Amino acid sequence: MSHLEPAERKGPQPRVLVVEDEDDIRTLVRYNLEQEGFRVDEARDGAGAYESIRRRLPDALVLDLMLPGMPGLELCQKLRAEAATHLLPIVMLTAKGSEVDRILGLEMGADDYIVKPFSPRELVARIRAVLRRANAQGAPAAGPVYERGRLRMDMGTYEVFVDGKQRQLCLREFELLRFFVEHPMRVYSREQLLDLVWGRDVFVEPRTVDVHVRRLRRQIERDDSKPELILTVRSVGYRFNPQALG
Ligand code: CA
């Protein structure tokens, strides 16, 4: 064993999403991360990265600044604006290394940056450092918890319990439920929910909200054919009624 520290880590090895359009660099980063025991996902552009994150939330992101389509900075800002990813550790790659890039990257929410050409070993060290910081911040017990009646939500670990039983919510369902518990009783239209929970994502239509509400009801309502928690307000939208939690 060449490294002592990571071997002590409990649970599965952290998963890193590498976002870079240059195949050589992406492959190099992947190889070095895998050598160190990380699990690696890859994306070639910002949109692909965003999709990958929605499918499976990584523990950290290596994000190249220069990407086709959605630039790295824009993706970074987008991730920072969403509840599920606003703490996701991000290490930016930049080809320029100018002061402007560095400051911009950090202002846009990157946790660290590394200048090309970089030593893979240094990149791995940076990733470990941001993961350590993130773990210290978001240690499971330290996450804020919403608890009322039969519902318990841990915002740090994304766990949801109903009547003491854990429910498997996808990221978006979790975010939607979090939005509801944080904004009880008020009525929101589908368009508002899209804006506030999904962000400005051009690929989704208002009907998506209904699909997620249906799935969420199946997970949290006593009887999803007679919802008491997420109420439909006809021809307007939805509202969350925490009183029904007991
Ligand atoms: Ca690039």
> Which sequence spans correspond to the domains of the chain?
15-135, 145-245
Give me ligand 1 centre to Cα 7, in Å. Answer: 32
CA of 71 to the centre of ligand 1 (A): 9
SS (H, E, C) 1-56: CCCCCHHHCCCCCCEEEEECCCHHHHHHHHHHHHHCCCEEEEECCHHHHHHHHHHC
- Two domains, one topology: 15-135 and 145-245: no
| CA 118 to ligand 1 center in whole angstroms | 14
Percent of the chain with pLDDT over 90: 45
Token readout for 83 is 């509840």
Instruction: Identify the CATH number of the domain defined by range 145-245.
Output: 1.10.10.10
Q: Distance (Å, rounded) from C-alpha 58 to C-alpha 56? A: 6
Categorize the per-residue pLDDT at 1 as very low, low, confident or very high, splitting at 50, 70 and 90. very low
Q: How confident is the model at residue 5 (pLDDT cuts 50, 70, 90)?
A: very low
Q: Hey, what amino acid is at 53?
A: I
Residue 80 burial by CB count (10 A; 0-12/13-18/19+): exposed, middle or buried?
Answer: middle
What is the Å distance from ligand 1's center to 61 Cα?
A: 14
The overall average pLDDT reported for the chain is: 84
Least confident of 44-53, 147-156, 164-173: 164-173
Over range 204-212, report the average pLDDT. 83
E strand or H helix that includes residue 107: helix 99-107
Instruction: Give the CATH number of domain 15-135; options: 3.40.50.2300, 3.60.15.10, 3.20.20.70, 3.40.50.2000.
Output: 3.40.50.2300
Of 48 and 107, the one with more pLDDT? 48
**Structure token pair of residue 92:** 């930016």
The rounded percent of the chain whose pLDDT value lies above 70 is 84
